[in-house]
Structure 1
Amino acid sequence: MHHWANDFVRALEAESESGPRVTPEATLTEALGRLRTAASLAILLDYDGTLVPIVNTPEQAAPDADLLDLIAALARRPRTVVQMVSGRSRETLETWFGELSIGLWAEHGIWFRAAAGSTWESAVDVSCAWMPDVRATMERFTLATPGSRIEEKTSSIAWHYRQVGREFGRLQARELRIALSRELRDVPLDIIEGKRVLEVRPRGASKAAVVQRLLSHETPPSVILALGDDRTDEEMFTALPPTGISIHVGPAVSLAMHRLRDSAATRAFLSGLLV
C-alpha cells in the first residue's frame, strides 16, 4: 500500500459526510499572493481533468490554442519552471507540448524530458516482458465489456471503461483488478485506479518522483505548486515539502490543501500568476 493510503482513506471518510467544498476565493487569493512573491517557483501540472475536461476518448483532449498560450506564458515567467506531469505517453506529450520550454513527465513518472529538445530518460528501470500477458488479460475483459478499450504505452498499459455503463464498468474493473492482482503477485508492478481507468505500471514509477527530483537540485525552488485531479496526483501532493501548495481539481476525495471546481477554474487560477 502507498504511504499516503491511510490518510487518503481518512479523508474519504471525512468528505463523505459533508461532500467536498471548493476553496473560498479569499483563500485562493492568499495562495496566489504567496506564489507571486516566491523567490523561485515550480509549477507541476497534471493534464487530463486538470487543464482540460475529461472526455470519452483520450484523443479528443488535445490542447487548444488558449491553453498552449497560457503554459508558454507561465514558462516565460521570471524564476519559474513548469513541469507537465501526465499519464499520457511520451509521443503524445512531445506532439502536444514538445516545442514549449517546459519539462515533460510521461506515464505517471516513468519517463521524463528535462527541457525542449532534450532526450527522454527513464526514471525507473523499465522492462516490458510482462506486458503481453497483461494485455491478454485486458483483452478478455474488453471483449466482455462493450465500450471498453486498451491503451498501450511504452512501459505501461491501461484499460479504459469511460464509455461503459457506470455500474457494469465498476464491476468489470473490480474483476479485472482481482485477475491482474493474482497474475502479477510476484511481479514488481503496480495496479493504479484512475477515473474509469485501470492502469498497470512498473513499481517505483510515481508522480512523487517529480517533486523528489526538484528537491534534489542544489538550489530547489522556494515554492512548489502542484495541481491534479486523480489518485495518481495524491502521490505528488504528499511528496511536497511544507512550503508547497497542492490543489485538487474536481469533486473527488483528496488530501490537497485547496480545491478548484474544474479545468476552467484551473486556467483562471494559473492566469492569476501572470498579473
Structure 2
Amino acid sequence: MTDLDDAVRAVASVPRLLVALDFDGVLAPIVNVPSEARPLPESAAALGALATLSDTVVALVSGRGLADLAAVSGFGSPIRMIGSHGGEFDDGAAVLDDAQRERLDAVVAELEELVGGEPGVVLEHKPAGVAVHVRNAPPEVASRVIDAVGTGPAARDGVEATPGKAVVDLSVVQINKGAALDVLRERIEADAVLFAGDDVTDETAFARLRPGDVGVKVGPGDTAAEHRVDGPLDVAKLLKGLLAARTGR
C-alpha cells in the first residue's frame, strides 16, 4: 500500500469530509476544444456515489465560468460547483459594483482589440473577468499574446491576473482557489479536505491545506501537494478507493 493509499483511507474516516477537485486535467483529460471536455465515466460515477454519502460534500473548483463548468461536467446537485477560480459559487454568482463593471468592460474591449485576428486565441467571458486561451495558437502567437496581455490589460489597477496552462485569467475581483476552498470548508464545517488539481492555479489551494487534509497533484510540475498521480485515469482509481473506504468506514 502506498503513502497515498494510507492517506486516502485516513481522510475517508473523518466525520465530515470535503472532496474538492479541479475539472480539466483532473476529472477530464485536456482537449484542444474546451467545450468538448468530459469527465471520465469512472470518475463521474465515483463522484456521484460519494456525493450521496452522509456527511460527505463533493465540489468542483475550476477556473471555468460556473455555467460552462456545469455544462461540460454534466454534474448537478448535490455536487457543488465553484467557478472562475472562486469568483462564482453555485449559491450566488459574483456581483460587481459599478466601478468593477466599468473596469471589466474596459479590459474586455482592450483584449478584443489585442487578440483580434490572432489565430487560435479564444476569449472566455466570465461574470467577474475574462480568460485568454492560447492552447490552439501557434507557439509564437501564444507567446506574443500572453506577453501583450501581461503588459497591457493585466497591468491595469484593480485587475487580478492568474496564469495557467496555456491560459491567463483576468479578474476585476481578488480571487483564488485557496480562498474559495477556505470559504467552502468553513461553510460546511468539514473536518478534513481532499483536494486534487493539475494546474499552477491549484497551488493556492494546496497551500491552504491543513494537517489531516490530503493534497494530490495530477501530472508533472512543482507543487506544494504531498502526493502526486500521473493523470485522470489515476484520479478515477483514487476516487474509487476513497468511495470504498468511505462506504466501509
SS of residue in 1 equivalent to 2:228 = strand
Determine which of 130, 145, 149 is the counterpart of 2:118. 145
What corresponds to 1:122 in structure 2?
Answer: 94
CA distance in 2, matches of 1:64, 1:268: 11
Structure 1, unmatched stretches of 5+, are 1-24, 114-118
SS of residue in 2 equivalent to 1:253 = coil
Runs of 4+ in 1 over 4 A off after TM superposition: 123-126
What corresponds to 1:93 in structure 2?
Answer: 69
- TM-aligned CA deviation for residue 93 of structure 1: 3.1
Further displaced range: 240-249 or 261-270? 240-249
CA offsets 1:80-131 (integer angstroms, 9 cap, x no match): 1111111122222344445331211111101112xxxxx4243886832222
Q: Is the 8 A contact 1:142 1:148 kept in 2?
A: yes
TM-score, normalization by structure 2:
0.87
SS of residue in 1 equivalent to 2:54 = coil
Further displaced range: 122-131 or 73-82? 122-131
1:62-77 aligned at under 5 Å gives the runs 62-63=38-39, 65-77=41-53
Report the aligned-residue RMSD: 2.3
Q: Is the 8 A contact 2:115 2:121 kept in 1?
A: yes
- TM-aligned CA deviation for residue 272 of structure 1: 0.6
Q: Is the 8 A contact 1:228 1:248 kept in 2?
A: yes
- TM-aligned CA deviation for residue 166 of structure 1: 2.6
How has the CA–CA distance of structure 1 residues 64 and 30 changed in structure 2, closer, same or farther, with 3 Å as cutoff?
Answer: closer
SS of residue in 1 equivalent to 2:207 = helix
1:153-164 aligned at under 5 Å gives the runs 153-164=126-137
Q: Does 1:211 align with 2:184?
A: no
What corresponds to 1:61 in structure 2?
Answer: 37
Q: Is the 8 A contact 1:123 1:205 kept in 2?
A: no
Q: Share of identical aligned residues, percent?
A: 29
CA distance in 1, matches of 2:220, 2:190: 29
How has the CA–CA distance of structure 1 residues 103 and 149 changed in structure 2, closer, same or farther, with 3 Å as cutoff?
Answer: same
Determine which of 217, 226, 229 is the counterpart of 1:260. 229
How has the CA–CA distance of structure 1 residues 167 and 252 changed in structure 2, closer, same or farther, with 3 Å as cutoff?
Answer: farther
Q: Is the 8 A contact 1:124 1:205 kept in 2?
A: no
How has the CA–CA distance of structure 1 residues 66 and 265 changed in structure 2, closer, same or farther, with 3 Å as cutoff?
Answer: closer
CA distance in 2, matches of 1:35, 1:125: 40
Q: Is the 8 A contact 2:181 2:205 kept in 1?
A: yes
CA offsets 1:208-242 (integer angstroms, 9 cap, x no match): 2333224434x732211111111221111111222
CA distance in 2, matches of 1:232, 1:67: 22
CA distance in 1, matches of 2:169, 2:149: 11
Q: Is the 8 A contact 1:44 1:225 kept in 2?
A: yes
How has the CA–CA distance of structure 1 residues 81 and 202 changed in structure 2, closer, same or farther, with 3 Å as cutoff?
Answer: same
How has the CA–CA distance of structure 1 residues 134 and 123 changed in structure 2, closer, same or farther, with 3 Å as cutoff?
Answer: closer
Q: Is the 8 A contact 2:163 2:169 kept in 1?
A: yes
What corresponds to 2:243 in structure 1?
Answer: 274
What corresponds to 1:102 in structure 2?
Answer: 79
Structure 2, unmatched stretches of 5+, are 245-249
1:1-275 aligned at under 5 Å gives the runs 26-63=2-39, 65-95=41-71, 96-97=73-74, 99-113=76-90, 119-122=91-94, 127-143=100-116, 145-182=118-155, 184=156, 186=157, 188-217=158-187, 220-275=189-244
What corresponds to 2:247 in structure 1?
Answer: none
Q: Is the 8 A contact 1:39 1:79 kept in 2?
A: yes
CA offsets 1:224-264 (integer angstroms, 9 cap, x no match): 11111112211111112222211111112211111110111
Q: Is the 8 A contact 2:111 2:149 kept in 1?
A: yes
CA distance in 1, matches of 2:202, 2:96: 18
